[in-house]
Structure formats: C-alpha cells, structure tokens
Chain A
Amino acid sequence: MNCTKCKIKAVIGLPRHNAAFCKSCFNGFVHDQVARAVKSEKMFGKDDRILVAVSGGKDSLALWDILLKLGYKADALYVNLGIGAYSEQSLAKVTKFAEAPAASHGATLHLHKVEQEAGAGIKELAQLIHRPTCSTCGTIKRYQFNRVAIEERYDVMATGHNLDDEAARLLGNVLHWQEEYLDKQGPSLPASVEGFAKKVKPLYRLSERELAAYAVLNRIDYIVEECPMAKGSKMLQYKEVLNRLETESPGTKQTFYWGFLEKQSKKQPTATTMIEKDRAVLHPCTSCHQPTTAEVCSYCKMMARAKTAVSS
C-alpha cells in the first residue's frame, strides 16, 4: 500500500478517507484535521492560553503535542487519581512528555492529587460516598480542570476526546433517549457563565486508531494499559460495536457524529441557547463559588461526604 499523496510506502491506511499515508503525510493529515476543527468551531486563536487536560493516554498527549507543534500556547493539567500502579505509570508518562518535548516549547505542567484534598484515592473515595468510580472520577476531573483554568486565567480548556469517544457517547445517549444531554455534545462549549471556562475538543475529527498511530509514529510514550476501573464499561462496549460497523462500513462513525453536529447546527444557534439556559439555572456554589444548579455544588457535597466518612 502506497501513500496517496507522495506514492512512497504507506504506514497506515485510512479506509474512511479512501486513503493511505506515509509518516510525513499522515502527520500533515492529523495537523490539518485539528486545524480545521479549531477554525470551524472557533475554538481558540494563536494568542489564547490553552489548558490541556492530560491523563498519560495517547489522545491527551497527542493533543498537547499537536497544539504545541501548530504554534499554540498550551500548558497542561494532570489529575492524579491515586489508582495504584496505573496512576504512577500514567504520571511518569506525562512527566516525561512535559520535561522533554513540551518544555522545549516553553509549556508548563500543573498537577493535582486527589488524595491530598479528599484524603483517599478515587476507588476508596467512590466506595466511601457510594457512587460509581467512573462517575466520581468524572466529577473530580471536570471540577479540577475548570478550577485550574479559571484560577490560572486560561482562555480555554481542551480535552482529548476523539471521534470514537463522541460517537460512543452519542450512541449511549440515543439508545437511552437522553435528549437533554445532546446539547452539550458539541466540540465547543462556551464559557456560559462567570466561573465556567470555555471547553473544546480539538480531536473530534480524528479516530482513536488515527491518534494511536500518531503517538506511535511520533514516539510519544503513552500508557497503553486500560484504566483498571473502566473494565467492562458501557462506553467500551459501544466503541466495540461501532468499530465492528466501521470495519465493515468505513465512515460510519464520522457519518453518525458529524451528521448529528450538522443537524444540531441547523436546528438552533446552540451557543446562544446554551448560554441562555445556563444563565437561567446556574449560580455560584456557596462553598467554592463554581457554578452549580444547587446551593452547594456536586463536588463540594462529595468532598464533605468523603471527609465525614474518613473521620468517622
């Protein structure tokens, strides 16, 4: 198989684009897809300060790498969840990337340790407050990334969600007819109220396989092991089903997710509507001042329950 563009030996075939690329042309393709996402969704500009949420996995480290290579000002935040050897290994991967490629671009890594604030790692914390681990993890990560973005005055926070993540999430929401979540499935969420950072997903045009290939080709050392807490999760099951469809029918995932985005954009001016909706229901948490629908936000309630459980 030869590169569609320069005709030398290809390293990856992309059936959904009816193309194959050598390393150099593939890197060009990946950078171009991210640049298109950033431009079309008005995510950020060259003067904006970006906070990238990194986990040590392929997507977030690839995102950090791509943004720096495209000339953006991108720092990162790693949340140490305290999941034994898995967290130690992922932190090592993040630190390694931060010390070499990222530092040479003048980028900084911020760290937050869940155990330091909550008094327990994520698994113990979830048990203490009787909530699923992945849901507890999601609440903590969303809260901490938003907190650091606001406190450190970043213009926007970027996550490594890819086409597979978004297609699987959409499938889950559609299967359960959770229409109320669909508004927030876009790749660019505005800073709708004071205290919320703008949130973007610059990798939504790239598949998980393409991002893994980018990491391998560019020698980005990432954690291949799956999070031990995620085993058997619904998200993984949906991805598996979508990948079987994609293998038989290339382009299924992008048709599904991008088609949804197109329909949403025609339906209503989402950004404005979301801002109006958020402003109507959100106000500062009485404890931490981050926006919430309740008097005290879900994160503060969770921390209070954890502290009570730890001390009793």
Chain B
Amino acid sequence: MQVQLSHPTRTVEVKGPKKVKELLRELNLVVEAHLVIKGDDLVTEDEMLHDKDQIEIRPVISGGSPLTPHPLRLTDSR
C-alpha cells in the first residue's frame, strides 16, 4: 500500500494486509501523535489495511509558542 507521510512530505510503500496499529508500529510512530486516513476516511487502530489502499498518516502535533513568557515581562505577558 502507498503510505503518505508528513514532516517532511514523502510516500513509502508498505506490504499489506496489516492493521493500522501494526503499520504505525512498523514505522515507529506513536498512536497518540498520529491519525490514519484511508482514502477520505479516518480509521481506528484495529482497521485492516490492504495493498490497494491509499493511506495518509497525519501527524497531529503542532506548536512553537514559547513555554513561558519572556522572563522580564512576566505580568504583561498573558
């Protein structure tokens, strides 16, 4: 099956059939940080994927905001 990945965008070929959770494990990806989309549909970890399927594994993590406001600007940085 064709599996599209992001960050960076690339496509890899993975042999099916296999379950979503097996695919994520094989690619060393954490379930909590990814969604798996088959065609246009979101699928759960127990879904069986086959060679003909178009799969997108979408990372869900975002955020580059500073952990804390600038140390000298504590009170006006809300």
Whether A1 lies near B44 (C-beta < 8 A) is yes
Q: Assess whether A297 is interfacial by the CB under 8 Å rule.
A: yes
Q: Assess whether A50 is interfacial by the CB under 8 Å rule.
A: no
B33, B37, B45, B47 — most chain A CB neighbours (10 Å): B33
Give the residue of A20, A139, A209, A297 whose beta carbon is less than 8 angstroms from that of B33.
A209
Residues from 42 to 78 in B contacting A, C-beta threshold 8 Å: 42-47, 58-70, 72-78
Least Cβ–Cβ distance between A247 and chain B, in angstroms? 5
Interface residue SS majority, chain B: loop
**Known A1-B45, A11-B41; contact A235-B77, beta-carbon cutoff 8 A:** no
With an 8 Å Cβ cutoff, the count of chain B residues facing the other chain is 36
**Known A199-B78, A297-B76; contact A208-B44, beta-carbon cutoff 8 A:** no
Interface residue SS majority, chain A: helix
Task: Please name all residues of chain A whose beta carbon is closer than 8 Å to the beta carbon of B65 when the two chains form the complex.
Answer: 134, 137-138, 165, 235
Least Cβ–Cβ distance between A17 and chain B, in angstroms? 13
For residue A55, which residue of chain B has the nearest CB? B62
With an 8 Å Cβ cutoff, the count of chain A residues facing the other chain is 68
Give the residue of A11, A181, A212, A277 whose beta carbon is less than 8 angstroms from that of B68.
A181
Q: Assess whether A85 is interfacial by the CB under 8 Å rule.
A: no
Give the residue of A13, A57, A233 whose beta carbon is less than 8 angstroms from that of B44.
A13
Least Cβ–Cβ distance between A306 and chain B, in angstroms? 15
Least Cβ–Cβ distance between B16 and chain A, in angstroms? 19
**Complex Cα gap A246–B30 (Å):** 9
A189, A224, A277 — most chain B CB neighbours (10 Å): A224
Which listed segment binds B: A63-71, A237-245, A258-266? Answer: A237-245
Least Cβ–Cβ distance between B18 and chain A, in angstroms? 16
**Complex Cα gap A209–B33 (Å):** 6
**Complex Cα gap A207–B32 (Å):** 9
Residues from 145 to 159 in A contacting B, C-beta threshold 8 Å: 146
Whether A243 lies near B64 (C-beta < 8 A) is no
Whether A239 lies near B64 (C-beta < 8 A) is no
**Known A1-B45, A236-B64; contact A213-B35, beta-carbon cutoff 8 A:** yes
**Complex Cα gap A208–B3 (Å):** 22
Q: Assess whether A130 is interfacial by the CB under 8 Å rule.
A: no
Q: Assess whether A117 is interfacial by the CB under 8 Å rule.
A: no
Whether A236 lies near B63 (C-beta < 8 A) is yes
Q: Assess whether B10 is interfacial by the CB under 8 Å rule.
A: no
**Complex Cα gap A217–B31 (Å):** 18
Task: Please name all residues of chain A whose beta carbon is closer than 8 Å to the beta carbon of B44 when the two chains form the complex.
Answer: 1, 10-13, 20
Give the residue of B31, B43, B47, B75 whose beta carbon is less than 8 angstroms from that of A281.
B75
Interface string of A265-306 (1 = CB under 8 A from B): 000000000000110011000000011111001100000000
For residue B61, which residue of chain A has the nearest CB? A239
For residue B43, which residue of chain A has the nearest CB? A11
**Known A134-B65, A181-B68, A235-B65; contact A213-B42, beta-carbon cutoff 8 A:** yes
Least Cβ–Cβ distance between B12 and chain A, in angstroms? 17
Whether B62 lies near A57 (C-beta < 8 A) is yes
Which listed segment binds B: A36-44, A107-115, A167-175? Answer: A167-175
Other contacts beyond A169-B68, A243-B32, A294-B76: 12, CB < 8 A: A1-B45, A12-B42, A13-B45, A58-B62, A138-B70, A142-B77, A209-B35, A225-B6, A235-B65, A236-B63, A239-B63, A240-B61
Considering the complex of A and B, which 4 residue pairs feature the smallest CB-CB distances, nearest first?
A230-B64, A172-B67, A212-B60, A243-B32
B interface residues (Cβ-Cβ under 8 A, vs A): 6-7, 30-35, 37, 41-47, 58-70, 72-78
